């Protein structure tokens, strides 16, 4: 190819790069990728083309790639102001790497963009990827020397997926969402660990899990599809694919995957939960309820299933059942999660608690204690032939115990901040659930004891049977 062709390619590449800068999210086509392709072709033909490296730095995906391009510019033109300014704007390199913009030294390529050597004349296109490519037979094609790190077959510098093994060549950082070459063990932007691509199965599976946790469903689908390519019977793969399709809002595909998952794992709570999610997404509340119920039965520790059950009960206007399900879910959910906050909000909505004026009211304390006390007073009176002065010592003791029991029970249940409890335990009253339960049980036990004292026939004579 002659110089004119190189210049033509360069012009087209620069035009595409400008277009990519003006319109980063085009409706059709991708000028960024076009620019990358054109400029890389220029560099293949003329590795010392400063303009190509400079413009390439504007369309690469990661800052590490940008750094390589700009360092190459400086190597060719140490006074280039644009490159100096661009490198200055980039974040400092990670501690293991060399500081910018110091003259680059030969090192293993960390990107698909080749770092130029400071001296000598490098080959037109040095191998961009590592060992597997070198072990394979000579790579054919216009990017001779570029090889898939998984299968070793030839790939283009702009490929994001190997055409031969169908595995992705570029993944997304689960933390900062920057594009990261599969050969990079950590994200050059944020330092997030990406895993070891040389063990592709756990590599993609771990990324798939991380993407799902971050609700990056398109990326998760890519990762799980890679796992499927590598090992179609990978454990829980169909469940994962179903979950991801659900996240992507593709219920039909999710259903197909989940049916396969159900055949493989008929006793899996996670599969039933996912089926519940699918039914919920389709608006089939009854089916969703049944699936969540099975999930909760199979795994009573499945907090999400209890959470969904609570939501369905709440929609069905069954506040009691909703409260029970939400309380169960709250115990099982990890702390400081969005779901836990939602559950607590729902519980607060279902059980708003007493207004401040009632919770700290002496009149309310009296009202609640008066009921049980009426029972014990009347029982003691009946025991004494309706004569208060006949009430024995045990009867008075029983009334005292009943009074204490009533106070403890009321304080442990509805009024933990009653005035008397505030005086005893401080302004916040009783706060610990265990203490409240203990008081309520203690109060009930005192009631039983008091009733026993009244009912025991102490000092009473046995009546004569009536004559026939």
Residues that bind other proteins (CB under 8 A): 319-321, 352-355, 357-358, 364, 367-368, 370-372, 374-375, 378-380, 382-387, 390, 409, 414-415, 444, 454-457, 460-463, 465-466, 468
Nearer to other proteins, 176 or 370 (CB): 370
Nearer to other proteins, 78 or 366 (CB): 366
Nearer to other proteins, 367 or 428 (CB): 367
Measured between alpha carbons, how far is 180 from 187 in angstroms, rounded to an integer? Answer: 6
DSSP states of 396-444 as a string?
Answer: HHHHHHHHHHHHHHHHHTT-TT-HHHHHHH-TT----HHHHHHHHHHHH
Tokens of 295: 């999930």
Nearer to other proteins, 131 or 441 (CB): 441
- Closest CB 171 distance from other proteins, rounded Å: 50
Measured between alpha carbons, how far is 351 from 29 in angstroms, rounded to an integer? Answer: 55
Nearer to other proteins, 89 or 367 (CB): 367
Nearer to other proteins, 85 or 382 (CB): 382
Tokens of 119: 């001296």
- Closest CB 177 distance from other proteins, rounded Å: 47
Nearer to other proteins, 335 or 468 (CB): 468
- Closest CB 390 distance from other proteins, rounded Å: 6
Nearer to other proteins, 379 or 439 (CB): 379
Which run of H or E residues covers position 8? helix 3-22
- Closest CB 374 distance from other proteins, rounded Å: 6
Residue 305 neighbours by CB under 8 Å, 6+ apart: 269, 272, 273, 276, 292, 295, 296, 299
Residue 268 neighbours by CB under 8 Å, 6+ apart: 239, 261, 262, 298
- Closest CB 228 distance from other proteins, rounded Å: 46
| Number of C-beta neighbours around residue 195 at 10 A | 19
- Closest CB 284 distance from other proteins, rounded Å: 25
**What is the DSSP secondary structure assignment for residue 235, as one 8-state letter?**
T
Q: Are 57 and 80 in contact (CB under 8 A)?
A: no
- Closest CB 319 distance from other proteins, rounded Å: 7
- Closest CB 381 distance from other proteins, rounded Å: 8
Measured between alpha carbons, how far is 153 from 388 in angstroms, rounded to an integer? Answer: 103
Tokens of 33: 């990728």
Q: Are 289 and 263 in contact (CB under 8 A)?
A: no
């Amino acid at each position: 190819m002659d110089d004119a062709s190189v210049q033509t390619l360069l012009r087209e590449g620069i035009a595409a790069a400008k277009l990519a800068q003006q319109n980063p999210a085009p409706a059709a086509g991708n000028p960024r990728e076009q620019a990358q392709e054109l400029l890389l072709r220029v560099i293949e033909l003329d590795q010392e083309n400063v303009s190509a490296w400079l413009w390439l730095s504007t369309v690469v995906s990661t800052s590490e790639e940008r750094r390589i391009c700009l360092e190459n510019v400086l190597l060719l033109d140490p006074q280039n102001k644009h490159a100096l300014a661009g490198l200055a704007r980039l974040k400092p390199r990670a501690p293991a790497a060399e500081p910018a913009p110091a003259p680059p030294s030969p090192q293993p390529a960390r990107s698909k963009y080749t770092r130029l050597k400071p001296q000598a004349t490098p080959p037109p296109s040095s191998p961009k990827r590592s060992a597997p490519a070198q072990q394979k037979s000579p790579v054919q094609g216009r990017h001779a020397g570029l090889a898939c790190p998984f299968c070793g077959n030839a790939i283009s510098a702009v490929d994001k997926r190997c055409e031969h093994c169908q595995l992705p060549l570029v993944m997304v950082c689960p933390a900062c969402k920057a594009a990261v070459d599969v050969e990079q063990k950590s994200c050059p932007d944020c330092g997030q660990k990406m895993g070891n691509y040389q063990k592709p199965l756990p590599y993609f599976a771990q990324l798939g899990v991380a993407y799902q946790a971050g609700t990056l469903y398109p990326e998760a689908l890519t990762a799980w599809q890679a796992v499927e390519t590598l090992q179609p019977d990978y454990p829980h793969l169909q469940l994962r694919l179903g979950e991801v399709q659900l996240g992507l809002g593709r219920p039909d595909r999710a259903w197909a995957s989940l049916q396969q998952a159900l055949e493989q794992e008929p006793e899996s709570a996670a599969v039933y939960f996912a089926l519940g999610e699918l039914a919920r997404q389709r608006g089939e509340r009854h089916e969703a309820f049944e699936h969540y119920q099975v999930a909760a039965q199979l795994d009573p520790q499945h907090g999400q299933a209890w959470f969904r059950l609570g939501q369905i009960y709440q929609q069905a206007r069954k506040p009691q059942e909703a409260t029970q399900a939400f309380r169960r879910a709250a115990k099982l959910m990890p702390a400081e999660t969005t779901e836990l906050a939602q559950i607590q909000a729902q519980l607060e909505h279902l059980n708003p608690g007493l207004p401040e004026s009632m919770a700290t009211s002496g009149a309310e304390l009296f009202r609640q204690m008066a009921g049980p006390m009426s029972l014990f007073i009347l029982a003691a009176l009946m025991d004494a032939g309706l004569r208060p002065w006949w009430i024995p010592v045990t009867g008075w003791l029983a009334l005292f115990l009943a009074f204490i029991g009533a106070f403890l029970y009321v304080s442990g249940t509805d009024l933990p901040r009653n005035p008397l409890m505030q005086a005893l335990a401080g302004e916040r009253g009783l706060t610990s659930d265990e203490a409240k339960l203990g008081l309520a049980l203690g109060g009930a036990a005192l009631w039983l004891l008091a009733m026993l004292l009244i009912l025991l026939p102490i000092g009473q004579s046995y009546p004569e049977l009536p004559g026939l």
